[in-house]
Structure formats: structure tokens, C-alpha cells
Chains A and B, each alone.
Chain A
Amino acid sequence: MADDVWILGINMTKFGKHPDKEAVDLASEAAIAALADGGVSMKEMGVVAAGSLMNASAGIGQQVQKQIGQTGIPVYNVANACATGATALRTVMMAIKAGEVDMGLAVGVEKLSGAGMLGAGAGKPASDEWTPSGRYGAVTGLDGRVGTDMMPGVFAQVGMEYGHRYGGTSFELFARIAEKNHSHSTLNPLAAYTKAMSLEQIMGDPMIAYPNTRSMCSANCDGAAAAVLVSDAKLKTLSLEQRKRAVKISASVLTTDPWEEACQVLPNVNTLTRNAATTAYEQAGVGPEDLDLVELHDCFATAELVHYDNLMLCPEGGAVDFFQSGATWRDGSTPVNVSGGLESKGHPIAATGIANVWEVAHHLRGEAGDRQIEGAKVGLAHVIGLGSACGVHILEKSAA
């Protein structure tokens, strides 16, 4: 096993609307700031990994390189649904672990303001006559005619399935999860939304896919995040200040959904998350009880509930009781999404994986300002994309 890998510098832009900036501008802003945060320059980077899901063929890595320094190093453009940022981070991590480089830059960026959420559409024959086509021999679009392919609906069913299996869920319970996250975001100046919302407001919002109203869905917005990773050997040569602020990546795991009967019709977001978490806890040598905070992929309020269970923050089947105990509020035993989460901080897809790590890293450094979780030493960042990829990173405070 190679030596540890550390986060030396990390940054995220404000999430929200950036009509005057292109994706490359936001990504470059985050990258330059991450380098500055680490006290290093582009000349010292051995590799870049970058992702922008909506521009997956545009070579965002090379675009950023042109803005911040064309040093001739290898660039990997990655795309892995909502796990794109985590995949970029992990790509740099693997290059360092392999001993090819001792420092690298990971970037994620998305421009999503105003993006709709409608699916492919159904309706009339594609030609004048009904003609079966595609892998289902369909004569028309199936989204909406055979269940739903829309993310709000898919994740609504994921939460309902949990309720069917274990009981105790309700529209109000799911709304209370969103209430928590919107409340947390009031302390995060970089969040897309920073206003608390009452339970009545959340439940009274337009219903997107029962039981998820609009304010229980992740907020489409613009944003970027970037991180500089460094090998253990290289870190030892840097200044005391750099070593003190470095955050250890104790576990970095990526999984996909293994076969089981039902995953063919409803993506299973549970097993791959549980598998990723199990491996991550083993790698890091810590347990869920050691976590001081968790940033998990609350793309919808229904998703947050099932991931309490998948990340083993509670006994299996115990997510409802766990939430109702107050454990996941910022003053609880396992604060979850103190940033406001995807529902309120926002979800610029490819930036999210690195932004979740940014949040955890800032608490471990004691630099999280008003929302600092006091004395935080260990944290977990989780993302999931359909279908399917799950990234889990466990981070630990520097001992230096």
C-alpha cells in the first residue's frame, strides 16, 4: 500500500447564478484559488483531472489549463454522472498512489441555472406509423407512460420503497429533512439559497414528484470546485503551515451497482452506497460512530433518508428513528449536510463531489466560520450518480 494522500488546497465558488461566467471561467476561478490555498503553483502539478457533465465532450480540463497554465502535463476529462467530481478527485489520487506524480489538480464545474428537469417525453409515433424501436421495441417514448425516468420521481420511489420495507415514513417526515437542510444553509454564505423554510412552506411548494416538492429537490445552479492533492512524501518537504492545513484522505472509494433482481427497473442506490461505505470504513480504520460530520448526496429529501441507513449512520432499517432523534441536525450526534446539502447549497453536478469534500475539509481545518462543527476530526463525503456510480471519501484532520 502506497503512502497517504493529502488535500493541500481546496476551493469552491459561490453556488448560484453566474450568468456572466462560462463554465471555464468558474472552473479556472476555483482552480486558481485551490492552488493559492495550497500555496503552490500550476508548475508543480503533475496531472489534472476535470469534469463538466453537461460539456462532457468539450475537454474542460484542457480549457482550464489554457487559462491557468499550459504546462504539458497529462489531462484526464472524466464523466460519471453526479459522481463526476468525486471521480476527478479519485483520478488524481490514483496517479499519486501509483507513484507517477506527487501533486495533482482535480476540478469539477457545471452551469445548470435554469435547466429544466423534464424527461425525454412521450406521445406520438416517431414516424407516421407505430414502429417498434430500441431495446424495448417501443413504438413511442416511454418516460411517463411506463413509470418515470425523471430523477425526482426515481428518487421519490427510492424513499417510498424504504418506507414500504421498514415503515414510519410520511410526506411530512421527508419534508422535515428538507427543513433541516434549508435551515443549515443559513450559515453558509456560498450556498445557492441561504433562507430557512418552514415545514408549511416546504409542504406547500409545487409537487414535483410525491413526496418531493420543489424545495425538497436539489437546486440546479452554477458552480465549481477544485482541489490540489499531494503525496505524503512531498507534503513532508513543505512548510509547517502547509502541513498543518493539509487534510488526510483516509479512504477514497468508487463503486457501481451490483446485480440484483430489482435494479433493472428501479436503480438501486442502496447496495453500491453500502458497499462503498463498508470499504471506506475499512480503508480508513474508522467507524460511522467516529464521524464528526457527513456530507451526503441529498439530491432529494427522500434520498437523504435512505443514505443514513446505507452509510450505516444508524442500524439497518432505523433511518426514520435516527432522523427523528435529531441526530442529523448540526447540534446532533452525527450532523449531516451542515452546508445546506444539495437541496439548499445547490447541485452543480460535476462540482458537487469536490464541494462536499471542501465542506468536510473546512471543518477539519477549523475554517468553517459560523457553521464550524467544533473539534471536528473525521468526516465523510458521499455522492451518487445514476446509473450508477457512488463515491465515498473519508477525511481526517492533520496531526501536524
Chain B
Amino acid sequence: MGTPVPMVDYLELGDEPRLVANECTNCGARFFDHRVACASCGGQEFTKAPVPTDGEVRAFTIVGWAPPGVPAPYVAAIVDCGGTSVKGNVVNTPPDPDHVTLGMKVRLTTFPIGTDSTGTEAIGFGFEPIEGN
């Protein structure tokens, strides 16, 4: 048994899980992957920038035919978190157009996605509707 590991390294676990982007120190462009350099300005220095956990669904789709190992249907979305675009599934709500709408307010949430041979859990993230939306 180990401490849980995040599904991706831009997910920070802890009491208040959050996403952390690589931000270009020159122009402020944000990336979730490891960068050689900034796609916007070519700068090579980055700093860690926490991303707001609340956001708004800017686009979504309900995927009917999922890749192996992923339950379908599921809701894939692009969420605007205070000006940073984040890709992630909308969870904890039925996957239909009555329950997922453009512009709906959501917040980051985490959940276990499985356990490896050493008993270590991996933690994934998604976005859930904010009540009273």
C-alpha cells in the first residue's frame, strides 16, 4: 500500500485537490504537458500556476462509443476555469443533454480509478455540476 498517485502529474492531490499548469514566465501561456518551449512566444522558462477549481462548460459531447476500459456513454467537455481552458469529463450527473448544458457551472472533483498490484490507488479528476446551477 502506498499513498495514492494522481492520474496525471498536473493534478495535485491533498485536502483541496487542484490542477496546476506550466505557465510561461515570459507571456503567461499555460500548458498541462511538459514543454520544451512555449508555443506562443518560444520562451523556455515556466512556473507552476494553480488553476481555479470552479469553471463553466464551454463545449461538451456525450460519447456513445468509448475506448476499451471506459464506461459509455460519458460526457467529455472543455471547461473554462477563470480563463484557462481545461479538458475533462463531466461526472456525477446523468450523461444526457437534459443534465449537461452549455454554460453550466461546474467544479473540480476527484475519484479513485483503480488499484495496481501493490495496492496503490490512482486518483482521476473530473468536473461535477455545482448545486443550484
Contact = CB atoms under 8 A, between A and B. Distances in A.
A78 interface: no
A148 B30 CA distance: 20
A137 B68 contact: no
Interface SS of chain A? loop
B87 A128 contact: no
Contacts of A210: 61-64, 97
A209 B62 contact: yes
Contacts of B58: 161, 164, 262
A259 B40 contact: yes
Nearest to B4: A130
Contact of B30 (A117, A152, A261): A261
A211 B8 CA distance: 29
B18 to A, nearest CB: 15
Contacts of B89: 144-147
Interface stretch (A118-126, A176-184, A379-387): A118-126
Given A129-B120, A148-B63, A207-B62, A135 B40 contact: no
Nearest to A155: B61
B1 interface: no
B116 A209 contact: no
B113 A140 contact: yes
Interface string A239-274: 000000000000000000001011011100000000
B76 interface: yes
Among A146, A207, A209, A259, find the residue whose CB has the most chain B CB atoms closer than 10 A: A146
B126 to A, nearest CB: 8
Given A129-B120, A135-B33, A153 B61 contact: yes
Interface in A105-138: 117-125, 128-130, 132, 135-138
A124 B70 CA distance: 10
B17 interface: no
Contacts of B5: 130, 132, 139
Interface in B41-97: 58-70, 73-74, 76-78, 83-89, 97
Contact of A264 (B6, B32, B63): B32
Nearest to B27: A259
A141 interface: yes
Size range of the chain A interface in the assembly: 35 or more
A135 to B, nearest CB: 4
Size range of the chain B interface in the assembly: 35 or more
A52 interface: no
Contacts of B8: 132, 136-139, 142, 146
B112 to A, nearest CB: 11
A78 to B, nearest CB: 24
B116 A130 contact: yes
Contacts of A117: 65
Contacts of B84: 261
Interface string A202-217: 0000111111100000
A390 to B, nearest CB: 18
A132 B78 contact: no
B118 interface: yes
A362 B76 CA distance: 41
A117 B67 CA distance: 9
B59 A158 contact: yes
Contacts of A121: 67-70
A153 B76 contact: yes
10 contacts: A120-B67, A145-B70, A147-B76, A153-B61, A157-B59, A160-B60, A164-B59, A208-B64, A209-B63, A261-B83
Given A139-B8, A207-B73, 5 more contacts: A118-B67, A119-B67, A145-B70, A207-B62, A265-B32
Interface of A: 117-125, 128-130, 132, 135-148, 150, 152-153, 156-158, 160-161, 163-164, 171, 206-212, 259, 261-262, 264-266
A-B pairs with the 6 shortest C-beta distances?
A123-B69, A137-B9, A144-B70, A156-B61, A210-B62, A161-B59
